[in-house]
């Protein structure tokens, strides 16, 4: 698939079949997540990969209420996805990396001195690579927020306290008739979004 064709095809899906993803395909998708940049090459992101039924059920039971599952039309079948990945940002990996000798000139040993939290940026970059690889593999994905029971989800999957899920990515074969949000809302006019030489 050609690169710009891939970008044009990328969109979120919210309905999946439960057909499993071949392990070698999942492996390639996961490998792609390690190809992104990271500040100081800290690589301070991990991934909790849920690909077994009991773990997936446990996740969805905590993340969604039965009532919401019953009532939603926009996300019906999201929970059929055979894989859910939680990208986990780890700030401590960055603080530690910036105390190493080649970085000791920098003020970034203290978390409060970071102009933006690079651990979230890098984890998001890695997530974007997953989303793009999913398109390349003719699968579909949804990046979504975890709005419920986050502490409980961390505890039940033994995610250490200092690792922060930035959301979750459901991946599967889209059984989709849903129209993407970007198609419904339209993209912004480029002339209003790109500011050449001054804002
Ligand atoms: C940080 C982030 C959080 C998102 N959270 C949700 C979510 O909780 N539920 C959902 O259905 N979509 C979620 N989305 C998907 C967006 O709605 C979607 O990317 C956007 O509407 C553009 O549509 P497209 O990706 O299909 O082009 C999220 C996307 C991002 C980047």
Q: Which of 121, 173, 98, 110 is nearest to 142 (CA)?
A: 173
Per-residue confidence (pLDDT) for residue 182, from 0 to 100: 79
pLDDT in tens, 30-45: 999 999 999 999 999 9
- Determine how many CB atoms are found less than 10 A away from the CB of residue 21: 19
pLDDT in tens, 156-187: 999 999 999 999 999 999 986 677 777 788 99
Q: By the 8 A CB rule, do 49 and 165 touch? A: no
Q: How far is the CA of 15 from the centre of ligand 1 (A)?
A: 14
- What ligand 1 atom has the least distance to the C-alpha of 145? 8
Residues constituting the chain: 199
Q: How far is the CA of 110 from the centre of ligand 1 (A)?
A: 32
H runs (alpha helix) in the chain = 3-9, 23-32, 53-63, 66-71, 91-97, 118-136, 150-156, 181-185, 190-193
21 contacts: CB under 8 Å, gap ≥ 6: 51, 82, 83, 139, 171, 172, 173
pLDDT in tens, 48-61: 999 999 999 999 99
Q: How far is the CA of 142 from the centre of ligand 1 (A)?
A: 7
Per-residue confidence (pLDDT) for residue 104, from 0 to 100: 81
Query: How much is the mean pLDDT over the chain?
Result: 95
Give pTM, 2 decimals: 0.96
- The domain made up of 3-175 has a fold known as NADH Oxidase (3.40.109)
């Amino acid at each position: 698939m050609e690169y710009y064709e891939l970008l044009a095809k990328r969109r979120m899906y919210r309905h999946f079949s439960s057909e499993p993803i071949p392990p070698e395909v999942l492996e390639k998708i996961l490998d792609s997540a390690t190809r992104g940049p990271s500040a100081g090459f800290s690589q301070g992101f991990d991934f909790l990969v849920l690909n077994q039924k009991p773990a997936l059920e446990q996740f969805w039971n905590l993340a969604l209420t039965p009532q919401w599952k019953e009532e939603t039309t926009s996300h019906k079948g999201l929970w059929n996805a055979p894989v859910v990945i939680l990208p986990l940002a780890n700030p401590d990996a960055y603080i530690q990396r910036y105390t190493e000798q080649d970085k000791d000139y920098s003020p970034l040993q203290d978390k409060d001195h970071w102009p933006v939290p690079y651990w979230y940026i890098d984890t998001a970059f890695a997530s974007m690579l997953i989303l793009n690889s999913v398109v390349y593999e003719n699968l579909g994905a949804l990046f979504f927020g975890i709005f419920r029971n986050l502490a409980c989800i961390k505890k039940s999957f033994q995610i250490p306290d200092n690792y922060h899920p930035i959301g979750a990515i459901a991946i599967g074969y889209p059984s989709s008739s849903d129209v993407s949000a970007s198609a419904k809302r339209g993209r912004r006019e480029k002339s209003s979004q790109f500011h050449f030489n001054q804002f």
